[in-house]
Amino acid sequence: MLSKNVVEMQGITKYFSNVLANSDINFTLIQGETHAIIGENGAGKSTLMKILYGQIQPDSGKIFIDGEPKNYDISQALKYGIGMVHQNFMHVDELSVLENIILNNIPDNFGFIDFKNARRKCQEYIKSFGLKCSLSSKISGLSVGERQKIEIIKTLYIGARILILDEPTAVLTPQESKELFKNINLLKSQGKSIIFISHKLREVMEVADRITVLKKGKVTGSFSNGEVDETDLARAMVGRQDVDLLQNSANHVSNKTVLKASKIWFIDKDGIEKIKNLNFSLHEGEILGIGGVEGNGQKELQEILVGRYSPDFGRIELGGQDITKFSVAQRRSSGIAMIPEDRMTLGLSINSNIQDNLLAGRHENEEFVKRGIIKRKHLDEVSKRAIEHFDIRGANLEDHVSQLSGGNLQKVILARELSINPKVLIASQPTRGLDIGAINTVRSFLLQEREKGCGILLISADLEELMSMSNRILILFEGNFSGEIFRDQIRRGIISEEDIGLMMGGVKTR
Amino acid sequence: MRIRMKDAISHKINIALSSLTNPVFAIVTAFIMGGVIVALTGGNPFQAYRVLLTGAFGSFSSLSRTIRFTLPIIMLGFSFGISERSGYFNIGQEGQMYAGAMAIVFVQYIFGDTPRIVLIILMACAGILASGLISYVPALLKLKLSTDEVIVSMLLNYIMVLLSKYLLLYSPIAELGKSTALSIEVEPGISGQVIFIFAFSIIIIYMITYKSSTWGYQLRLIGKNKDFAELSGINVGKFMLIIAFIAGAFSGISVFGEVLGVYHRVYNGFASNLGFYGMTAALIGGDSVFGLIAGALILGALQSGSISLATMTNTQSEIVLVVQGFVMLFSTIKIFKHFSCFDKKKELKKKR
Amino acid sequence: MDIFGILHSTIRLASPIILISIGGLFSLKVDIFNLGLEAFALMGCFSAVAATYLTKNLLLGSTIGVVVCVIYGLIYSFFVIKMKVNAVICAVAFITLTSGLTRYLMQPIFGTSGKFILDRSFALKPIDLGIFSENNLIGLILNNHTILVYVSIVLPFITHIFLNYTKYGLYIRSIGLNQVAANAAGINVDLWKYLASMASGFFCGLAGIQLAMSMNLFNVEMTAGRGFTALAVLIMTGAQPIPTFFAALLFGFADSISNVLSSGGYQPQFLAMLPYGLALMAVVLPKVFRLIGEKRKRKLSFIRILNREGGE
């Protein structure tokens, strides 16, 4: 049986600024197979597929479609038969299902849309996917699972034979996921080739013929299903790297609870349960790592803890006091500080100078404000001291902080947040995108706070960071904790990285 | 380290230049366009501009007339500017002014017999409250229902204009049959000097508050990054409502000055177009209060000088409207950004 | 009170509003909020009168008038799309500009200011459609209108067909609803935005011709807020062509009645305020309903959870 390589990507490399997203990646897709690409956040999966789809151009490397080398953009990709089902659907909500499907290629007679023809074609697809919706109903009325099917039908309508599905089960219920796998097998039987991006190991094992694992921009494994089990995959996905980084060596953690969350539920405005019955306690002097792939409730958890979102149910206590109804300002003054993951949009006012950024959050404090007027001189002094103490390079007092590098931006945020001597520090992806020196600086400041008795919630998708910095790790999966790991257990080898990888993929539950 | 210094200085120059270039470009281009139109219709643009200039600044009386035109524009400019600073588009100045005017007229009707000082204070309060309220409504709707404040403000503008017309014609306080059509006379008058001092002090308070107070700080923060402001503990929604009210209050102050200081009456259509001049002045000024005052001065000068245009040249005074329109149009083109795009590309290449 | 007379002038008075509204509709459909329809229509009035006066030919003058308005639309969209000027500010600038330009140019072109009356021979005259016999009731209402009035009656329906049944209509609708998706579908978004803006200018130009040339005069500010009325209509109807037609008729009716009433000594201002009040409600109410809907969705989810987890 001749298996033809329908897609071949050789030596694909792509830089974003100075971050290496894809590094010399080789990837092949055989005609009629389902090929899964797995990896953690930032592994480079989406980038690689966007390159395949023509949305992005690689910095180096070659792409062969049906054996012929090609350089192309999206509209040409469509002609070659490559279709992509994005994670956020390209739907026009107010238009009907039919109109959405045919938007890429509208059949017409002298300008008037040939509805009969289009309807006939689409009806066939609708039936084969088991959809019960009417073509003329508005697409906004369909469920997420149904809309994803429409998204797939869109690619089929323009004649795609290579389908790229980007984290398709991220928005589906288990039942809908099962239906999706049935449809994938159906498409396979029709001769289509499918690429499937995911981080959920169990599903991947269920549906893929071959699996490629990406980690930090490189291919760390390429297997056929049947060769490997979930543990092998997890190892390839999260395997440790040896770098000279600071570690948390503290063994002893106080018993006093500084932050407690009980029975937290949160439903977003689409009615989806983002946090389900979440419970945890943070102790003084403890670094509690919250791990898991992004999108499993981390954002909602942060917003609830900092006070921007209100939980639909549940209770938050700070040092015994009920702060569930506290505003953001009240929580700050009670001692909760936060380092948000989005440095430039949430952590700073990028178009303001250092003083204004350092003042934020303390702009009503007596230290800086007298009778409504800001004490400029004092603010300038404090800023100068912060620049020294935190070694913020390249900072001039009147300049906008947009001039600073990533590491220095993070130091400004640290200077501000740590200045209130917080009782609880929520640090979200604090070392993302930083070089080694900056990473160690951030880690050393976190460890210093820990010494002072501050309880730190370290939310990170970087498992290595969690494992070396946390006293205890909780893995977040679909709004709840799928596992709890103690430092000891890692040290003594009771729980391995692969186990944690499995928890992140939703496999093990303890 | 050396490269960093150069970057820092050039960045500073960047900011200074861009904040100056935009308004200068807008005004110069607008005047040129106006001049072209004058020339095309057989007039002499240089003569026209000379007459405008002398008409606005030539003598003490024309200077004071220019200032008298400028002051309400400054207030209206604050009204637009302070809202815009917090990310709220307030173009309801016209409606706010009419609301303030009606409130003043009603105060006169009800409290006409109270002593002069009390009456004036009551009128000021009523005017400010009424216009603040009209400004507050679109902001409240935006906060609670996410409606578009532009549409609501514009509709309110129209409703207020019609309402005031109705009041001038049919309400019990209307003065029908008088010589000045559709107007109501307002008793206590205030001299121009008092108005000037009043306006001047407001400007000073505004500047100090904006630059050095904690509220000014919070306002700037909200305008630059709303999410960050929220995370810093600022109650953005409440803040924006207060700002909207204050913006309306500024419109009320301008009406107060116009009615009590200048016209001594409220008449139909007294505020038409005035609202948008405030917006233009704020756009010219950009981030700086001085710029706003300068912009208001230019607009006021145009208005003041236009009176002599008609008498002294064969160019009609309406050319002033044309120039104002062009200024508005060009003042928001970030011309410097278009050119500095080239610089950005060089920077990216350096980093690689 | 002559009912048929009122209904007849209803249609006549509604006509420019229909035309301006359809112009604004195209702009709205590509997500350009054109507050400056007033300016476009005013320019249409002025350029039609000026061009007819200078060329001494109604057809040629009207054509030039429309072309000027189309160019106006193009310039507006250029500033908004390419130079990224805020659409509201741009619109206000255009309104001020047009107001000033039309006033200013009256003296050089017509030799008078404020108001200029053309010779009657150039007027846009009402047409007697032979279809209606003398005593036919419908004829009393629909007969003897200018050609543009008849155009404005059928235009909303043609627009409806264009938007919903043609390929280009679908392009335009998708751009306004989800520009990213339209772009991903290969539609040249910028091109269609420019075209829609030009269409805006076109219809406002027609409105200008109808307004000015049916009375063969130009008066400063003769559009008298009709541009904003048109916006109110579009807001009320959510930019749907056929409801727009009826809403514009409503305004025309209000106009007609208030003419009658004011000459009879009644107060027209309240009647004039009513449409704006209606438009305000049309803006606010849908959002209220949406808010209630979202709250219900969350509550239902909540109840679902409670039932599932067995009470907490």
The model's pLDDT over B76-96, given as tens digits with 9 standing for 90+, comes to 999 999 998 888 889 899 999
> C251-290, pLDDT tens digit by residue?
888 888 877 776 766 666 677 777 777 778 877 887 888 8
C72 vs C130, more confident: C72
Share of chain A above pLDDT 90, in %: 24
Q: Which candidate in B137, B148, B154 is best for mutational testing of the C interface (most C CBs within 10 A)?
A: B154
Contact A32, A192 (CB under 8 A): yes
Task: Tell the burial category of B295 from Cβ atoms under 10 Å away from its Cβ (0-12, 13-18, 19+).
Answer: buried
pLDDT band, residue B175 (cuts 50/70/90) = low
Domain-located, residue C273: no
- The pLDDT tens digits of the residues spanning A46-102 come to 889 988 988 788 999 999 988 888 888 777 787 888 888 887 788 888 888 989 988
Note whether A110 contacts C: Cβ–Cβ < 8 A. Answer: no
Instruction: Write out the residue range of the structural domain in which residue C84 sits.
Output: 3-266
Asked whether residue A332 is assigned to any structural domain, the reply reads yes
Does A71 share its domain with A166?
yes
Whole-number mean pLDDT of chain B? 81
CA distances from A257 to A316, A454, A459, A460, A481 (A): 12, 11, 19, 22, 19
Does A363 contact B214 at a Cβ distance shorter than 8 Å? yes
Q: What is the distance between the alpha carbons of residues C99 and A321, in angstroms, rounded to a whole number?
A: 64
Residues of chain B above pLDDT 70, percent: 82
Q: Looking at the domain assignment, is residue A404 inside a domain?
A: no
Q: Cβ separation of C94 and B325 shorter than 8 Å?
A: yes
Closest chain A residue to the Cα of B225, Cα to Cα: A349
Per DSSP, helices labelled H in A39-143 are 45-53, 74-80, 97-102, 115-128
Dist CA B275 CA B93 (whole Å)? 5
In sequence order, what E strands does C113-215 have?
115-117
The pLDDT of A177-203, averaged and rounded, is: 87
pLDDT at B105 > cutoff 90 = no
Interface of C with B in 219-248 (CB under 8 A): 225, 228, 231-232, 235
Is residue A155 located within the same domain as residue A275? no
Residue pair A424/A457 in contact (Cβ under 8 Å)? The answer is yes
CA distances from B87 to B75, B82, B222 (A): 19, 9, 7
Range of the domain at A60: 5-238
* Buried b or exposed e, range A447-467, using 16+ CB within 10 angstroms: bebbeeebbbbbbbbbbbbbb
Contact between A148 and A87 (Cβ < 8 Å): no
The identity of residue A341, as a single letter, is: E
Residue B233 sits at the chain A interface (C-beta within 8 Å): yes
> Do the domain assignments include residue A393?
no
Looking at beta carbons, which residues of chain C come within 8 Å of B326? 93, 97
* Nearest chain B Cα distance for residue A156, angstroms: 38
Candidate from A453-457, B198-202, B206-210, B333-337 with smallest mean pLDDT? B333-337
Residue C284 lies in a domain: no
How confident is the model at residue A1, as a pLDDT? 41
In-domain check, residue A391:
no
Do residues A95 and C182 make contact, with C-beta atoms less than 8 angstroms apart? Answer: no
On the question of pLDDT at C12 being above 50, the answer is yes
Reduced to 3 states (helix: H, G, I; strand: E, B; else coil), residue A36 is strand
More confident residue, A504 or B94: B94
- Which residues in chain A are closer than 8 Å to C300, comparing Cβ atoms? 271
Q: Which domain-ending residue is among A176, A206, A238?
A: A238
Name the domain count of chain A: 2
Is residue C288 in some structural domain?
Answer: no
Domains parsed from chain B with CATH numbers: 44-313 (1.10.3470)
Higher pLDDT, B345 or C10: C10
Q: Which residue would you say has higher pLDDT here, B155 or A165?
A: A165
Among A118-132, A389-403, A441-455, name the one with the lowest average pLDDT.
A389-403
Contact B188, B116 (CB under 8 A): yes
CA B325 from chain centre, in angstroms, equals 14
pLDDT for C268 equals 67
Backbone angles phi, psi at A224, to 5 degrees: -95, 145
CB B333 within 8 A of CB B26: yes
Whether C249 contacts C10, CB under 8 Å: yes
Residue carrying the six token digits 């500033």: C79
Q: Do C166 and A263 touch (CB under 8 A)?
A: no
Q: Is C166 on the interface with B (CB under 8 A)?
A: no
pLDDT of residue B345: 47
Q: Is the pLDDT at C102 greater than 70, yes or no?
A: yes
pLDDT of A365: 83
State whether A437 and A320 are in the same domain.
yes
Within-domain flag for C25: yes
Q: Which residues have C-beta within 8 Å of that of residue A245, sequence separation ≥ 6?
A: A436, A439, A440, A443, A468
Q: What is the mean pLDDT of chain C?
A: 85
User: What is the pLDDT averaged over residues C162-183?
Assistant: 90
Measured distance CA(A97)–CA(C177) in Å, rounded: 14
Asked if residue A487 and residue A437 are part of one domain, the reply reads yes
Q: Among residues A186, A145, A273, A253, which one has the least CA distance to residue A472? A: A253
Tell me what the mean pLDDT of segment B230-246 comes to. 91
Chain C residues lying within 8 Å of A104, measured CB to CB: 185-186
**Same domain for A114 and A51?**
yes
Do A227 and A117 reside in the same domain of the chain?
Answer: yes
Q: Cα dist. A178→A190, A272, A508, B224 in Å?
A: 19, 19, 20, 46
Q: What's the gap in Å between the CA of B210 and the closest CA on chain A?
A: 10
Mean pLDDT on B315-341: 75
| A444 in the same domain as A334 | yes
Give domain status of residue C279, yes or no.
no
Q: For the domain that residue A211 is a member of, what is the CATH number?
A: 3.40.50.300
Three-state DSSP class for B107?
A: helix
Contacts C278 to B, Cβ<8 Å: none
Residue C272 maps to a domain: no
Q: Partners for A (CB, 8 Å, 3+ pairs)?
A: B, C
Chain A interface mutation, best of C161, C168, C300, C305, highest count of A Cβ atoms under 10 Å: C305
Among the listed residues A45, B199, B141, the one whose alpha carbon sits nearest the alpha carbon of residue C280: B141
User: Which residue has tokens 């974003």?
Assistant: A16
Question: What are the chain C neighbours of B27 within 8 Å (beta carbons)?
Answer: none
**Per-residue tokens: B282:** 């704020």
State residue B284's pLDDT score: 86
What is the number of alpha carbons within 13 Å of residue A261 lying toward its C-beta?
23
Min Cα separation B118/chain C (Å): 33
**A192 and A105 in a common domain:** yes
Chain C contact for B284 (CB, 8 A cutoff) = no
Candidate from C100, C269, C273 with C-beta closest to B321: C100
pLDDT at A509: 54
Q: How far is C167 from A496, CA to CA, in rounded Å? A: 58
H or E stretch covering A430: none
Ramachandran quadrant class, A243 (left: phi over 0; alpha: psi -120 to 50; beta: rest)? beta
Between chains, do C103 and B321 touch, taking CB under 8 Å as contact?
yes
Is residue C285 included in any domain, yes or no? no
Q: How many CB atoms are closer than 10 A to CB A58?
A: 22
Mean pLDDT of A304-321: 91
> Closest partner residue to C177 among A92, A111, A267, by Cβ?
A92
pLDDT at residue C98 in the model: 92
Domain assignment of residue A269, yes or no: yes
pLDDT category, B306, cuts 50, 70, 90? confident
Query: How many domains is chain C built from?
Result: 1
* Residue A18: predicted pLDDT: 65
Assess C270–A contact: CB distance below 8 Å, yes or no. Answer: no
Residues A313 and A198 in one domain: no
Residue A453 belongs to a domain:
yes
Q: How many angstroms separate the CA of residue C188 from the nearest CA in chain A?
A: 12
Mean pLDDT is lowest, of A113-122, A286-295, C55-64, C114-123, for: C114-123
C33, C231 in Cβ contact below 8 A? no
Q: What is the pLDDT of residue C240?
A: 92
More confident residue, B180 or C248: C248
Whether A129 and A195 share a structural domain: yes
CA A8 from centre of chain: 27
- pLDDT for the residue B348: 47
Burial of A337 (0-12, 13-18, 19+ CB in 10 A): buried
A-facing residues of C in 222-241 (CB < 8 A) are none
How much is the pLDDT for A29? Answer: 92
The interaxial angle of helices B274-285 and B60-85, nearest 10 deg, is 70
**What's the pLDDT tens digit per position in A406-424?**
788 899 999 999 988 899 9
The CATH number of the domain where C238 resides is what?
1.10.3470
Burial call B210-246: b when 16+ CB within 10 Å, e when fewer: beebbebbbbbbbbbbeebbbbbbbebeebbbbbbbb
Same domain, A194 and A302: no
| Contact with chain A for residue C178, Cβ under 8 A | yes
pTM: 0.80
CA distance A295 to A40: 12
Q: Which of A206, A238, A270 is at the close of a domain?
A: A238
CB contact under 8 A, C184 and A74: yes
Give C282's contacts in chain B (Cβ within 8 Å): none
Average pLDDT, rounded, for chain A: 85
* Contact across the interface for A356 and B7, Cβ inside 8 Å: no
CB contact under 8 A, C104 and B328: no
Q: How far is C309 from chain A (nearest CA, A)?
A: 10
Residue A346 lies in a domain: yes
Name all chains with 3 or more CB-CB pairs below 8 Å to chain B.
A, C
Specify whether the CB–CB gap between A261 and A277 falls below 8 A: no
Whole-angstrom CA distances from B305 to B46, B48, B108, B310, C113 are: 14, 10, 34, 10, 20
Does A227 share its domain with A338? no
Whether C218 shows a pLDDT value over 90: the answer reads no
Q: What is the mean pLDDT of residues B267-282?
A: 79
> Residue B318: which of C103, C269, C270 has the nearest Cβ?
C103
What are residue A276's phi and psi, to 5 degrees? -120, 110
| C4 touches B at CB < 8 Å | no
Q: Report the DSSP pairing between strands A34-38 and A210-215.
A: parallel
How crowded is residue C223: how many other Cβ atoms within 10 Å of its Cβ?
Answer: 32
Task: Give B9 or B42, the one with higher predicted confidence.
Answer: B42
Q: What pLDDT is attached to residue B246?
A: 93
CA angle centred on B337, ends B334 and B342, rounded to 5°: 155
Collect all residues of chain C within an 8 Å Cβ-Cβ radius of residue A112.
Answer: 165-167
Res. B342 pLDDT band, cuts 50 70 90? very low
pLDDT tens, position by position, A328-362: 999 999 999 999 988 888 889 888 888 889 888 88
Decide if C185 is inside a domain.
Answer: yes
Give the pLDDT confidence of A240-288 residue by residue, as tens digits: 554 566 777 776 778 889 999 999 999 887 777 889 889 999 999 899 9
Which is nearest to C236 in space by CA: C177, C286, C172? Answer: C286
pLDDT of residue C233: 85
Domain contains A33: yes
Q: What pairing do the DSSP bridges indicate for beta strands A424-428 and A336-339?
A: parallel
> Residues with Cβ < 8 Å from B83, sequence gap 6 or more?
B89, B90, B243, B244, B247
CA C170, A97, A196, A2 torsion-angle sign = negative
